[in-house]
Amino acid sequence: MRAGERAYATLLDEIQTGALAPGTVLGEVEQSTRLGVSRTPLREALRRLASDGLVAQASPRVTVVAGIDADDIRALFELRRALETQAARSATVRGDGRLFTALAGEFAAVDTADADAYYSLIARFDVRIDDAVANPYLSAALRSVRTHLVRVRRMARDNPLRLSASAGEHELIARAIGAGDPELAAHATHVHLHNALTTILEALTEDPS
């Protein structure tokens, strides 16, 4: 992996997991030393993160981790709703229903107490959706949204009731796609996103930090 790719991957993970909190200053000298790269690949990594919307320029020489508030989350879910409901419809029409029926069975059996395993299953579901829609533009837009979703999903990780409900919602989406019912798949996706947004906004209200 090139130095710039390595720096980007490390910083992306740290921002998404919260190790680098919103507002953290990313000084070039400090980060270059910490990551073991020169300043040129670090700048490349910071440019990519800025393009992702994950860092921002507080001043011409100061880069900080971008914040994310309730308005940002609502805007993100507005876009997510449009993209994911269309993706569910397209996957139903173009995808292999047997693959989604199998995934529905996995969602029914998954132990949501193991959040990492659950989100690994979500990632595989996302890959199946991307493969099924066969639309590189839609998939690219979804990948961009998912980059930010990793940050906001952390707000629901410690809510076992929400994770259990989410597994049931994904099971219904996958079963609808597997059964070839595009409108049910889209509706189930809409309900899932409504519930996810509500939970995240409630968590943000309880812990405004």
pLDDT digits (tens), the chain, 209 positions: 699 999 999 999 999 888 999 999 999 999 999 999 999 999 999 999 999 999 998 887 889 999 888 999 999 999 999 999 999 999 999 999 999 999 999 999 999 999 889 989 999 999 999 999 999 999 999 999 999 988 887 766 668 889 999 999 999 999 999 999 999 999 999 999 999 999 989 887 776 55
What does the pLDDT look like over 64-118, one tens digit per residue?
999 888 999 999 999 999 999 999 999 999 999 999 999 999 999 999 999 889 9
CA gap 44, 39 in Å, rounded: 9
| Stated pTM of the model | 0.84
